[in-house]
Amino acid sequence: MPEPAAGVPATIALIAHDGRKVDMVAFATYNRERLGHFHLVATSTTGELLQDKVGLEVTRVLSGPKGGDTQIAAMVAEGKVRAVIFLVDPLTPHPHEPDIQAILRVCNVHNIPLATNVASADLLMTSSLLDRPS
């Protein structure tokens, strides 16, 4: 992945299914200081919650079902995202499942760290992997 330009922080993408938005807000609140060192991009509703409830600056893309998942997948493929935290709700069917799978696939193809639950997201946040040049 290309290194961000000097003075530009690395980007972390944040996505949460409706059933996991409360978990995302709690996670982001706990990790607010660390997340504040990165450029954050999120799907629409998740980004709005992170701005309003946690006070983080977030670049918002479309909502997941309206193409936001695909927008973030494209950013990953273009080397613009250092890591993805995608809190998935595995017990609820999602009509945009192909878009969700695209994010998972592109992270694997490009060797981008991907956390799909709070436990793995917490491990990612404590890792020096986010601070290393790629």
Chain position carrying tokens 């694997």: 108
What are the structure tokens assigned to 29, written together?
């609140």
103, 73 Cβ separation under 8 angstroms: yes
Indicate the helix (H) or strand (E) that contains 99.
helix 97-109
Q: Provide the edge-to-edge strand list for the sheet that holds 59-60.
A: 59-60, 39-42, 11-16, 83-87, 114-115
As annotated, the active-site residues are 69
Q: Which of 81, 134, 130, 133 is nearest to 107 (CA)?
A: 81
Residue 40 sits at φ, ψ, to 5 deg, of -110, 135
